[in-house]
Amino acid sequence: MPARFLFLVHALSPVHRRFIGLRRADPAITLGLRDGTDPYRAIGRICRLRLGAVAAGEVWGVPLDPAQMIEDQERALVRLERAARLAMLEQPVAAIGLGSLAAVVGGRGEALQERLSVPVTTGAAATTWALWKNTVRVLERRPDATAAVIGAAGPVGRAVAELLAADGYRVRVDAKRAAKGLDVEAADGPEAAAKGCAVVVGAATTGGLLPPQALASGAVVVDVALPSILTGPAPAGVRMLAGEAVSCPPSWDPGLWGRAYQVLAGYGPQQVYACLIEPLVLAVEGRGAPYALGRKLEAATVRHFAAQAEALGFQPRLAAGWWAASI
Amino acid sequence: MTKAPYARISVDTFDSADPEVWGKVRTAFAEALGREEDEVELQHKIIEELDAESLDFLDIAFRLERAFDIKIPRGGIENTAKAGMGDEVYEIDGVLTDAAITRLREAMPEVDPAEFPAGLRVTEVAELFRVATFYNLVVHLLNEKAA
């Protein structure tokens, strides 16, 4: 029996909501006649995912867009809980993952976990794993570079700074608190941290922290922030790389709807974002506790997750947009 | 929470915070930011001194809503400032007008008026937020609820 998992998402845009409406055969949502806040419309399965005989999962969506998710977090929680319970009525699962703002509302997954008996994991461990490994691949080509971690006060930033420093790289963080107990330099803010650094790590969730003019000429930015860690377009000569892209093993099968979802969600046809595989790995491992929930994220947990994910054939992938990138 | 109306606190009256309300606000901040409660004080700047990132504000708002059974509107501080401005312009090309700065000083008594310089950008207002800013927002909403 494959390990079963569930991944909960919301509409990333009005166009994405129409896709969810189409998938759920809901004409009012598909045609844009409803705004997605009706509690009984278009909550359901988007696609099935399979990793050979090892794991099988489903992506379920709620039609709330980002603004609707944020404006009433309790409403968003109720929708996500309903989606999870409906999915589990059809098929029990061993782990639940959260995508985009589903991983943010309700205390970064904590409130949803209080309502469900299955481990709920936010994807932060997987995101950190991909960002860490992708940054290492860049630093291997620039061994003398200092990596500036922007957003280091957050759980992902703090953990990635710790992991890079433990690997022996020179790291500078943008907040004094983030440097506490770590062998890293501390700078006063994102601009000061990025000054003169050839490698910049965008580790904040929402981005918009670093003015492009603060980047050194020829810098490489490895970024997981959405929409971008930069406050404007990248200057000429600066490379922007997706920090969260992951390549999948040959036995990965997202099916037709899964491929459509991957493209619409911005993954492209050849890769997924790391957070998607966190509940898969959790279900396969059969561990009863999430890798990441709330603000809690330990570097040791990221290392553990990395070993589990890589044993299943997943690998962080240096990418620019949809496509593989080389340094 | 039956003691409404509560008084807002200002930069000179941090000591006058209601202990019950402040206790819950402090717990919400500590939990959202992964800190000990004694690391959170009313006068702390949320971004600069407590190292909050933008998503933490969502978490803080959610925890306050649950703790006090209130609904915190998005853009609450900015909306409060705009509400008193009538037809006056709030910002031009992202820079707050003098009228907007005057209104913000009134809406945020927990911040020293000198910290609102001419030329302040809309995006810089959040950097002025204190823990007391949320305390005052909660007090305002509790008073509204009790009215």
CA atoms within 13 A on the CB side of A134: 35
Q: A11-65: per-residue pLDDT in tens?
A: 988 888 888 888 888 888 888 888 888 888 878 999 999 999 999 999 999 999 9
pLDDT at B2 over 70: no
Q: Is the residue at A321 inside a domain? A: no
> What pLDDT was estimated at residue B83?
74
| CB-based contact, B49 to chain A, within 8 Å | no
> What pLDDT was estimated at residue A262?
84
- Range of lowest pLDDT (A88-97, A183-192, B59-68, B69-78): B69-78
Distance from B59 to chain A by nearest Cα, in Å?
5
Domains contained in chain A, number: 2
Q: Is the residue at B3 inside a domain? A: no
By residue range, what is the domain housing residue A14? 3-124+255-315
Mean pLDDT of A228-240: 92
| CB-based contact, A123 to chain B, within 8 Å | no
From chain A, the residues in CB contact with B66 under 8 A are 111
Residue that finishes a domain, picked among A208, A227, A245: A245
Average pLDDT, chain A: 92
Q: Please check whether residues A120 and A262 belong to one and the same domain.
A: yes
By residue range, what is the domain housing residue B78? 17-146
Q: Do B34 and A70 touch (CB under 8 A)?
A: no
Please report, for the domain that includes residue B36, its CATH number.
1.10.1200.10
Mean pLDDT of A267-286: 92
Q: B34-46: per-residue pLDDT in tens?
A: 889 999 999 999 9
Q: Do A73 and B63 touch (CB under 8 A)?
A: no
Residue A40 CB partners (closer than 8 Å, separation 6+): none
Q: How far apart are alpha carbons A115 and A194 in whole angstroms?
A: 41
Mean pLDDT of A232-258: 93
Q: For B51, which of A71, A111, A153 is closest by C-beta distance?
A: A153
Q: How far apart are alpha carbons A176 and A186 in whole angstroms?
A: 5
> What pLDDT was estimated at residue B135?
96
Give the pTM: 0.89
Mean pLDDT of B103-119: 90
Domains contained in chain B, number: 1
Residue that finishes a domain, picked among A199, A214, A245: A245
Interface of B with A in 57-76 (CB under 8 A): 58-59, 61-63, 65-66, 71, 74
Q: How far apart are alpha carbons A224 and A206 in whole angstroms?
A: 9
Residue with tokens 């997605």: A36
Q: What is the ipTM of this complex?
A: 0.81
Q: How far apart are alpha carbons A291 and A127 in whole angstroms?
A: 11
Q: State how far the alpha carbon of A161 is from the alpha carbons of A206, A297, B39, B109, B135, in Å.
A: 18, 12, 23, 38, 33
Mean pLDDT of A144-165: 94
| CB-based contact, A173 to chain B, within 8 Å | no
3-state secondary structure of A162: helix
